[in-house]
């Protein structure tokens, strides 16, 4: 499973997330990522906002409408995973 590193928005602390799935909607890449590789864990939806050379910048999706729409797409892609909003 692919891992990504990013800074937590509230603390700026570097965190490691495991990418469960990726999709592209309207030309924008989205990731479904979790803190734990195998156990139940909080999941996050991230969107790509910029690419700088080999580095890609993601931000947490916080808009409720966008979050709801993208989470439904990931639920359909991962039939055995339930996403609670």
Total domains, the chain: 1
Q: For the chain, which residues score pLDDT lower than 50?
A: none
User: Is 83 domain-assigned?
Assistant: no
Quote the domain boundaries for residue 66: 3-77
Q: What per-residue confidence (pLDDT) applies to 80?
A: 60
pLDDT at residue number 63: 94
Residue 71 lies in a domain: yes
CA dihedral (13, 16, 22, 23) in degrees, to 10, reads 0
d(CA 32, CA 30): 7
Per-residue confidence (pLDDT) for residue 57, from 0 to 100: 85
Instruction: Please indicate, yes or no, if residue 40 is contained in any of the structural domains.
Output: yes
Residue 84 lies in a domain: no
């Amino acid at each position: 499973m692919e891992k990504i590193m990013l800074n937590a928005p509230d603390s700026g602390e570097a965190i490691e997330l495991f990418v469960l799935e990726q999709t592209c909607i309207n030309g924008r890449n989205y990731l479904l990522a979790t803190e734990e590789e195998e156990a139940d864990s909080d999941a996050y939806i991230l969107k790509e906002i910029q690419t700088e050379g080999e580095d890609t910048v993601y931000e947490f999706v916080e808009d409720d409408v966008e979050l709801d729409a993208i989470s439904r797409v990931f639920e359909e892609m991962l039939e055995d995973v339930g996403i609670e909003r």
